Structure 1
């Protein structure tokens, strides 16, 4: 591939080019920040260039030594470069200046289109190499700074940690064992505003000790790539206080780690997207058996294992019940890491579907207690935002190939919990079967029920005029037939008032409430109207 093709491909991202004599040169790959993947005609991406003409000469010499054909950079003024559109020839490298407003991530994506996996693995080293480099960096930092180093991503998941250099405080010990910082320590750091300050652009933070929870002092540096906060480096050291030199050392290390953490993040994002698509296929109605094999391969699970599928949803309201599904997914992920339990979640049709493994009961003996407890704990973890969320629990299945059946059951249960005031927030299909059966039968009966709905129409028309409350009165009476006082309590009226209204509405509509057949039809008509009203006022349930 010619360098001229790469420049044309970058298109409007390019401000100007110098050294056009080499545009016809072949380019075989790219590298980032002066670390070429191959010493043979690569494109060097310089994200934080030095300044001045001397730096240009040094860079050109480096390109000659490393076999670099072209250099991509921003802010040419720092290199004392002019901007002639025709360019200035140079014998060592072509310099391609990228517009300042263009993110490097966009440049990398464009280059990846040219060089495929090779380009991506060089600009951002491959996943395995990135993990190895981060682990080595943690050890080097720990030794150089005479302390213990942990490198985390933004979810408090540990990417690497250094070898122990002395006693470990409780926070480091537990974090290493769990590969994740426990919530107790997360809250302590949040109370000091650590993440907020890092997200706000602070590069280095000195974090105070919290002795009551076994947390020593920390020096923290934010790890960024193209201005985006991706993670952090944490240094713990009891021997002597942190110094300004420590600040500079950790700041420089964070700058070097940015591309490595982004590579890991990209790989994780790609893996998560592949897993989500596979999970969607697995939970789709009548999913083929091969979908179970595909998901098992991606998720690292055996095809045969006990599982349940849960559906979390919230009845639509004028304002969202949850600001973001992120809080729900975080709670699910956190609770889905204990023992043999694993939880995989994906958004599907406005609800959050969760594949939950680790049910301890056999298929014939499972009463859905395990997934119901899990769902209840998730809603409790959410606190106030989860107050309106409900969870449908699918039945026990013994293999991934039949997960779609559990998913179907969980969706039906969740829809019923959303549509009716059952007093439950978590329920399996067997616990709300009567509501589900009626809801699914009503559409089949809608035509005849509407055809003979004149009596109910008269009551609705009277209520619309503001002269009565006949429909609610009839519904409460039918749903609590034989319990006049209970129906009156629901309506907050006296039992005698209820009796009077019933006499009035039966006379108006010409119905006989002593006839069990009429009572059944009227209940079905009332339920159908309620169902139609709910569906017309909402596009469906949404998390």
Structure 2
């Protein structure tokens, strides 16, 4: 796997609370670990490490920066705003800063968790399952790890331990069965400072021993042990220790997820602008055929905080895409949220086209409805053409951008195929406005005659073209007698020299009347 870099670390945990003052060697330098400085011990040789300047005032950290450079470390983290930036730049060492009030143990835990968010560090679900088994073996009771919403993240598989129906149902659905009493117990656990013994909720249900999992004051989840009456005497102490380990593993999992999201977002950005390595992108995403979906608030709507609205829309789109496809591939560009929707079977598989079209359209319609309710602003969704390989993503994006310009209250969602004629006319209109030769011709004489003499030649011609050159239908649309319509058309030919019997002349005149202002 590629090395974890300083840039990766800042993308995962960087915020107003962790600032990068300088990175003279660039953001691509590797970061291997976070090391706490101990004034009573020699500085370890730790190439690539970040040294946390514990007990050293930021303005006085120059010697520590020099020592870190000699030890091959990547950077130094100081507490407060006034670090030795000049010394760091001279030594080629990155300098980062945390808030004055930040606790060093919390900073260390956060950075270590982020750096541990790599497959070779075992910070994912597998680590939580191993922890559940270890706690179950030590306490003597079946164990589960839950998130704050009582979704089961991991559970023990130690054989022979008593369980009840609540545990069985929870594991089957990976969600704790909801009830008023259960909700009360959860609040009790989250409100306690340590492990809590909880009575059975109903006949046939066993008691529980539970503890909240926290890090830096944030509740990350909880650990639950089934108490069949045979728990080990030190079960509470073991559970408290397990909660500390669970906090680290959950932070690692979160950091890993955030890093993956960031990397996928950057990949989508590069795919959209055509600068990505298509083969590498296909390997990472596991997709070939895709279509681009574009989501944006209605441009005509009044949005008090457009940036915040766009970010909330990005979260909604990302959530729905993750729910359907297992991972997100979304990016926010210029106020538009773009999502890559996988299209198995390729663009040319006719058997899958209707099903794929319907699935993508349902997703877009559902998102437009949900986003409109949540953001309190109309949202539009445009679907580009399905492309058979990721190198075609910029073209599908261009389709979606064009479709977005055509959407309104009556048509809030559309695929490019559904509005292909309108898209074509939009492109022709832009091309004809830009080129003088395409703006010239009979249509100017028609408009000039109407302006000078009050005739209705342009309106009559448009109705006639729209009626498929059927005079009777055109007259009905104009609310005039067919003879009036015929007279006007003859005058166009006689007075203005327009050869309406020439199909090419009719085509060009219709396009000009249809597309030019």
Give the TM-score normalised by structure 2. 0.55
Query: What corresponds to 2:147 in structure 1?
Result: 152
Unmatched segments (≥5 aa) in structure 2: 1-17, 22-36, 56-77, 81-97, 304-308, 373-377
**Which of 354, 359, 362 does residue 374 from structure 1 map onto?**
359
Tell me the alpha carbon deviations over residues 58-98 of structure 1, each in whole angstroms, 9 at most, x when there is no partner: xxxxxxxxxxxxxx999xxxxxxxxxxxxxxxxxxxxxx97
Task: Return closer, same or farther for 1:409/1:222 CA change in 2, 3 Å cut-off.
Answer: same
User: Take 2:79 and 2:118, find their aligned partners in 1: how far apart are those partners?
Assistant: 16
Query: What corresponds to 1:293 in structure 2?
Result: 279
Query: Is 1:128 matched up with 2:85?
Result: no
Query: What corresponds to 1:312 in structure 2?
Result: 294
CA shift for structure 1 position 442: 2.9
Query: Is 1:166 matched up with 2:156?
Result: no
Give the TM-score normalised by structure 1. 0.53
Tell me the alpha carbon deviations over residues 237-265 of structure 1, each in whole angstroms, 9 at most, x when there is no partner: 5969xxxx999997875555333322222
Aligned length: 406
User: Take 1:277 and 1:324, find their aligned partners in 2: how far apart are those partners?
Assistant: 18
Tell me the alpha carbon deviations over residues 18-40 of structure 1, each in whole angstroms, 9 at most, x when there is no partner: xxx9759543389xxxxxxx9xx
Task: Return closer, same or farther for 1:168/1:457 CA change in 2, 3 Å cut-off.
Answer: farther
**Which of 391, 400, 404 does residue 382 from structure 2 map onto?**
391
User: Take 1:488 and 1:260, find their aligned partners in 2: how far apart are those partners?
Assistant: 76
Tell me the alpha carbon deviations over residues 499-535 of structure 1, each in whole angstroms, 9 at most, x when there is no partner: 999999x999x988967777655654465457xxxxx
Unmatched segments (≥5 aa) in structure 1: 1-9, 14-20, 31-37, 46-71, 75-96, 113-117, 531-543
Query: What corresponds to 1:57 in structure 2?
Result: none
Alignment of 1:58-97 (within 5 A): none
Secondary structure at 1:317's aligned position in 2? coil
User: Take 1:458 and 1:270, find their aligned partners in 2: how far apart are those partners?
Assistant: 62
Query: What corresponds to 1:325 in structure 2?
Result: 314
Alignment of 1:127-526 (within 5 A): 127-128=121-122, 134-142=128-136, 144=139, 146-152=141-147, 159-163=153-157, 165-169=162-166, 171-176=169-174, 181=175, 203=191, 223-229=213-219, 231-233=220-222, 235=224, 254=243, 257-285=246-274, 291-299=277-285, 301=286, 306-314=288-296, 315-319=298-302, 323-337=312-326, 344-357=329-342, 359-360=344-345, 363-365=348-350, 368-382=353-367, 383-385=369-371, 388-397=379-388, 402-413=389-400, 415-416=402-403, 418-419=405-406, 423=411, 425-429=413-417, 431-446=418-433, 447-448=435-436, 449-450=438-439, 479=466, 495=479, 520-521=507-508, 523-525=510-512
C-alpha contact 1:233 1:254 (8 A) present in aligned 2: yes
Task: Return closer, same or farther for 1:357/1:269 CA change in 2, 3 Å cut-off.
Answer: same
User: Take 2:485 and 2:255, find their aligned partners in 1: how far apart are those partners?
Assistant: 66
Task: Return closer, same or farther for 1:292/1:221 CA change in 2, 3 Å cut-off.
Answer: farther
Secondary structure at 1:359's aligned position in 2? coil
